[in-house]
Structure 1
C-alpha cells in the first residue's frame, strides 16, 4: 500500500512538473495582421518613437555592417556562440510587418516572438520589460513607419543544447521580472528619470556587468564592468576612481559626442551608442549621467589610486606636465618591450599623442594619462584601439584614429601597449599582451 502511494505521489509530481514546464515553454502565436500604413500612426507618436528607439540603441544591434538600417544580420558574439540580430523593419515576410502592437509588446516585455518561439536574451528584454506602455507604442509606431527591407538573418551558431530554445523558459524564470516600472516619487525627478533610462531603455547593465555561467547578469555585481564584442565595458560604478574623476558635465559631453576633454574618445561598441544619444534631448542624457554618478562605490578597483588622487606626475591642477611621459620611463630602467614600444610610438603615435603634439596643444585632445584604456585593469581596450582604431564617419571626424592591425604584428602591438602603460599610467604593469593580441586579432577577423 505504501509503495503504491509513493508511486502515485511520484506520478503526481511528474505530471505537475510537466504541466509547469509546458506552461513555461509553450507560448501561443499571436495572429498576423495586415501591415499597417505609416500614415495610420500619429505624427507626434512617431517622433516620440524615434527618441525611444535611439535611447534603446535599436539601430546599433539591428543593423549589420554596411547593411540597411534595422534590417538585422549583425553578428552578436556571446560565450555560447553567435546570435544574428533579426530584421525589425516592417517587411511582412522577413521583418515585423505582420506583427500587431500586442505581439511587439510581448516580444519587448517577455522575449517571445509573434509566432510563439522564445527569443534569446542577447535581445535585452529583461531590461526592456521595464519600458512604459506609451514608450512601447511609440517605438512600434516609429519602426512600422520605416522603409521595409526584405532581409533574412543568418542562422544562429550556438553550442548544444542552447541551439534549442525551450531551455530559455527556465532562464527567464531565473532572470526575467516582467512588467513596466514607474518613477520613484520619493527621489529627485532627474535621478528617478535617469534610473528608468539606465535600467530600462538604455539597458546599460547588459554590457557593463559581468555575466554568470549561464549568461545572466551576476547578482550583486551590476555595473562592475563586462566584456562585449572583444572590448571591455568599463565599470560604471568606479568613475570616481579614474585617473581624473568624472564630472557630470564631462559624462554628458562624452555620452552625446563620444569625447570627453579629460578622458578620451569612445570606440568599439560604445561609439555608435554615443551617436544615438546625440539625437535625443539633452535632458535625457543629463538624467542618465546623474544616475550613473550616483552609483559610485567607495572602494576603488585593485591597483587604482585613491579616489580623486592625482597622478604621481600630475601638476597641482591635476594635469600631467608636458614631460611626464618621458620622465616616468626615464626615471627607471625601461623593459625591452617598453624600449621597442617607444620606437614604434615615436614613429606612429607621437604625432597625435606625444608631448606637445598639435592634437593636444591645438585640438584639445586629452593626454593618454587620463585614458580609460591605458589605465584599465587589462590591456584589452588598448590593444583593440591600436588594432582597429576609430573609423572615419563622414564629416563627423572629431573622433578618428587609423587602424594599425595591418601595419604592426602581434609583438609590435604588445610592445606598444607596454610602453604606453609604463609611460602614461601610474598603475601596475600589464602582463605580456602578445597572446591577447593574437586572440583579439583572430576574433576581429572572424566578424
Structure 2
C-alpha cells in the first residue's frame, strides 16, 4: 500500500511539474498585422536598418546561395541535427509579411516568433536581446522593404525530442538572460559602441566562443575560440595565436578590407562578415576594433619581440612582384616527407614576397599554421579560395584532386614544424579524410563572402 501511495505521490509531482513547465513555456500568438508588408518607412530609417543588417550578417544565414536574398532555407548543421533558416522577406504566407513591429521585437528580444513558438538559439537571440528598440525599429523597416519571396522553410531534422519546441523554454531558463546591454561608465563612448555592436547584433561570440554540451556559449571562456560551418573561429582574446598580435589599427584595416598584410585574407564564414561590414561607417569599424583589441590584452615582451622581427621581415615597403617573376625560393634542407610537396605546391606563392591580398601569406605569419586545431588550413588546402565574382580578389587553387589524404597530412605536418614552434598536430590524416568526405560540412566562400548586403539588396521594385 505504501508503495502505491509513494508512486501516486511521485506521479502527482511529475504531473504538477509538467503542467508548471508548460505554463512557463507557453507564449501567446501576436495577432496578424495585415498592413505590415505595405506600410511606408522613412528612407533614412531603412538606410540605418541596412547598416544594422550588415552588422548582423543577416543575409548570410537567411539566404541560400543563388536564391533570392533573405528568403531562408539555408541548412545550418549543429551537433543536434540540421536547422533551416527562415524566410524573413515580407511575404505574408511564408515570410514575416504579417508580423507587426511588436512581433519582430519579441523575436529579437525573447526568441519567440509571432505564433508563440520558441526559436532555436541558432538564431542568436541571446545576443540580439541586447539590441535597442530604436535599432530594432530600423532593422524591421529594412526587412519590410525587401522584395517579398514566397519560399517555404524546409523542416528541421533534429535529434528526438528536440523538435518539441517547448523544451527550449528549459534551455532559456538555464542560459538565456533577456535584457538590454548597459554602457560601462568606466570606458569610452567608442569602446561602449564597439561592445554594443560586437556583443549585440554582431554576435561575435556566437562563433568565437566555445559552447557547452547543450549548445550554449561558455561564458567563462568568452572569445576563446569556437567553430562555425566547419571552420575554426580563432580565439580573439588573450589566447590568440596570431604570430603578430592584433591591435585596433590592424583589426580595423582587416574588417574594412577583408585582409591585412601581416594576417592574410578572410575566408569561410569570416569572409561574409568582412564583406557585409563594407556598409558600415569608419567610426563603427574603429569602435568594434577598439573593443575587441581591448579583450586581447597586452602581449608578453617575448611575443612582442618576435612580432617585431616578423614585421621587419614581412612588413610593408616590399616590391610587389608580377606573376611571371614568382620563382620558387631555394628549398630548405629537409628529409621530411612534406618538404618536397611544399616546395612544389606552396612555396611559389607563399614565399614569393608578393604582398597581400593577391600574394600568398608567408606561413610564419599564419594563424592557421599556429592554431591548436588545423581545421582551417586543412579546409584551404583541400578546397582553396574561390575567386570573387566580377572583381579582383585573393584566389588559391584547391589540392583535393591532386594530393592524397596522406600527402596533405605530410604537407601540413611539415608546415607546422617549419613555420611555427607549436607542438605537432595529431591524427592529421584522419582529419583530412573526414573533411574531404563532407563529414564536417565545410562551407567554402570566396574572399568577399557569398553575398554582401548593400542598401538595395532584395529591395522592392518600384
Report TM bin, short chain: 0.7 to 0.9
Question: How far does the alpha carbon of each residue in 1:375-395 deviate from its partner, in whole angstroms, 9 at most, with x for none?
Answer: 111211100111222222123
Cα distance change, pair 38–55 in 1 and its aligned pair in 2 (3 A): farther
* 8 Å contact from structure 1 (residues 353, 360) kept in 2: no
Q: Find the counterpart in structure 1 of residue 400 from structure 2.
A: 405
1:414 paired to 2:391: no
Structure 1 residues 159-198: aligned runs within 5 Å: 159-198=159-198
How far 1:282 moved relative to its partner? 1.3
Q: Find the counterpart in structure 2 of residue 256 from structure 1.
A: 256
* Residue aligned with 1:307, SS: helix
Cα distance change, pair 418–14 in 1 and its aligned pair in 2 (3 A): closer
1:145 paired to 2:145: yes
C-alpha distance in 1, partners of 2:298/2:6?
56
* 8 Å contact from structure 1 (residues 326, 423) kept in 2: no
How far 1:412 moved relative to its partner? 2.5
1:310 paired to 2:306: yes
C-alpha distance in 1, partners of 2:93/2:373?
45
C-alpha distance in 2, partners of 1:361/1:88?
37
* 8 Å contact from structure 1 (residues 194, 287) kept in 2: yes
Report the TM-score when normalising by structure 1.
Answer: 0.87
C-alpha distance in 1, partners of 2:231/2:211?
14
How far 1:269 moved relative to its partner? 0.9
* 8 Å contact from structure 1 (residues 230, 443) kept in 2: no
C-alpha distance in 2, partners of 1:316/1:83?
44
* 8 Å contact from structure 2 (residues 56, 203) kept in 1: yes
Structure 1 residues 42-441: aligned runs within 5 Å: 42-238=42-238, 242-297=242-297, 306-310=302-306, 314=309, 317=312, 319=314, 330=333, 333-336=334-337, 338-339=338-339, 342=340, 344-356=341-353, 359-360=354-355, 366-441=361-436
Structural RMSD (CA):
3.0
Q: Which one is further off, 429-438 or 76-85? A: 429-438
* 8 Å contact from structure 2 (residues 260, 357) kept in 1: no
In the alignment, structure 1 segments of 5+ residues that lack a partner are none
C-alpha distance in 2, partners of 1:136/1:408?
49
* 8 Å contact from structure 1 (residues 250, 261) kept in 2: no
* 8 Å contact from structure 1 (residues 328, 423) kept in 2: no
Question: How far does the alpha carbon of each residue in 1:70-95 deviate from its partner, in whole angstroms, 9 at most, with x for none?
Answer: 11111111111111111111111111
How far 1:154 moved relative to its partner? 1.6
How far 1:10 moved relative to its partner? 7.1
Cα distance change, pair 388–24 in 1 and its aligned pair in 2 (3 A): farther
C-alpha distance in 1, partners of 2:50/2:311?
45
* Residue aligned with 1:24, SS: helix
Question: How far does the alpha carbon of each residue in 1:319-345 deviate from its partner, in whole angstroms, 9 at most, with x for none?
Answer: 49x9xx989953xx5433x23xx3x33
Question: How far does the alpha carbon of each residue in 1:205-262 deviate from its partner, in whole angstroms, 9 at most, with x for none?
Answer: 1100111010001131110101111111000103765211112221111112210111
* 8 Å contact from structure 1 (residues 49, 139) kept in 2: yes
* 8 Å contact from structure 1 (residues 329, 423) kept in 2: no
Report the TM-score when normalising by structure 2.
Answer: 0.85
Structure 1 segments (4+ residues) deviating >6 Å: 5-12, 325-328
C-alpha distance in 1, partners of 2:125/2:13?
32
Q: Which one is further off, 9-18 or 388-397? A: 9-18
* Residue aligned with 1:437, SS: helix
